[in-house]
Amino acid sequence: MEFENLTKKLRRLEIRSRKDATDVLAGEFKSAFRGAGIEFDEVREYLPGDDVRSIDWNVTARQGRPFIKRFQEERELTVFFVVDCSASGRFGSGEQPIVDLAAELCATLAFSAVKSSDKVGLLLFTDQVERFIPPAKGATHAMRIIREVLGYQPKGRGTDLPGALSFLARALKKRSVVFVLSDFLGCGDFEQPMQLLAQRHDVVALPLRDPSLEVLPDAGLLELQDAESGERYLVDSSSKTVRDAYAQRIRLRNQRLSDRLKRIGVDRLPLSLGDDCTGELAAFLKRRTQRR
């Protein structure tokens, strides 16, 4: 991406995302994810009515009378973005590729985190881990993350989501809120690594879609190319049977993805190019807060 175009996009994203974080998501972000982790507070003597499961048996044995551990919600969140920058996410039928949608979502969520004085980090991946940025605070750091999502030129073309999730599980030392942004195309068997990550962290899947690519136009013979593998296919799009079969295949793929994420038990919010993403995020965060 040319430097001038990148700078303009970044500036537009910054202005819009700061406004959305203040006007639309104000309060929702903090309410939805507060308490994602707990930290040790103190040890005190056991009092009648205390939960016996909180007894610290080591201290109790030393002191000769019962003591309990007290915990409190962590005051600070660590928010981490796992962003798919494979070839399929950088292709779009219109002016906006899916990676731009990922950047928009990261910007809105990052500035919401900044407003709450939380840390933000980033992992970019293709068929390999491309870039890892440790979590840090502040608007300058948030802008660095958005710039990386929007302007990074990946080395790989494929998608190894299981590898990225396994890498992150080893890298994150503190309980975090992890947003996984991907089109989930050719992503492999990610269920087990995502489930293991979700055992310690609060994982949210954001499947990203380009609706215009899910409909085959009536345009005669078309040569289609897989953006990641490079394979080419000749398709007769003038056939209604072919168009219907294509649409059915897309519907089944989306349903299978939804079922896989549901089985893992992670929260998920599918988003498409053209959606009111800030409104969708606000509604999603509100639902999380109400459940809690």
- Is residue 13 within 8 A of residue 5, CB to CB? The reply is no
What is the pLDDT, as a whole number, of residue 22? 73
Q: Band of the pLDDT at 75, cuts 50, 70, 90?
A: low
- How far does CA 83 lie from the centroid of its chain? 7
User: How do 271-272 and 202-209 pair as beta strands?
Assistant: parallel
What is the pLDDT, as a whole number, of residue 74? 56
Tell me the C-alpha distance between 107 and 100, whole Å. 10
Identify the helix (H) or strand (E) that includes residue 99. Answer: helix 98-115
The amino acid that residue 290 corresponds to is Q
Q: Cβ contacts of residue 1 below 8 Å, gap of 6+?
A: 9, 150, 151
The amino acid that residue 242 corresponds to is V
Identify the helix (H) or strand (E) that includes residue 289. Answer: helix 277-291
Q: Which domains does the chain have, with CATH numbers?
A: 3-32+76-291 (3.40.50.410), 38-73 (no CATH)
Q: What is the pLDDT of residues 121-166, one digit of tens each?
A: 999 999 999 999 999 999 999 999 999 998 899 999 899 999 999 9
Q: Which two tokens stand for residue 228?
A: 């990641």
Q: What is the pLDDT of residues 155-175, one digit of tens each?
A: 998 999 999 999 999 999 888
What is the pLDDT, as a whole number, of residue 94? 55
What is the pLDDT, as a whole number, of residue 127? 94
Phi, psi for residue 262 in degrees, rounded to 5? -65, -40
pTM reported for the whole predicted model = 0.81
Q: What percent of the chain has pLDDT over 90?
A: 47
Tell me the C-alpha distance between 282 and 263, whole Å. 24
